[in-house]
Amino acid sequence: MEQSQHEQRQAAAKDFQQSLGELQHILQENSAEEEIPKLPDDNINDEQFADRTSVIDLAAWEDAVADIEQYLQEKEKADS
């Protein structure tokens, strides 16, 4: 049983690292295509910021978050 948990942790860690790599690649692509705008000051509202940064692929973010959540759940199970 202990070996199975170890294998699950390794698989979750591998998935997590792969997701981080994909996220980094996406962010590098986006920054190369269009520089993220600099904020003039703290007076910008959320809607204006969202408009300026809408080039980020939402699906990729959702996949990354799902992988992180899965990794954390597996880690929590293993720690219990």
The pLDDT tens digits for 22-61 are 888 888 777 666 555 555 555 667 676 666 655 567 788 8
Under a CB-based contact definition with an 8 Å cutoff, are residues 26 and 60 in contact?
A: yes
pTM comes to: 0.39
CA distances from 78 to 2, 12, 23, 68 (A): 9, 11, 26, 15
| Residue 34, pLDDT score | 59
Which residue type does 29 have? E
Checking if the pLDDT of 1 tops 60, the result is no
Which residue type does 2 have? E
Share of the chain above pLDDT 70, in %: 65
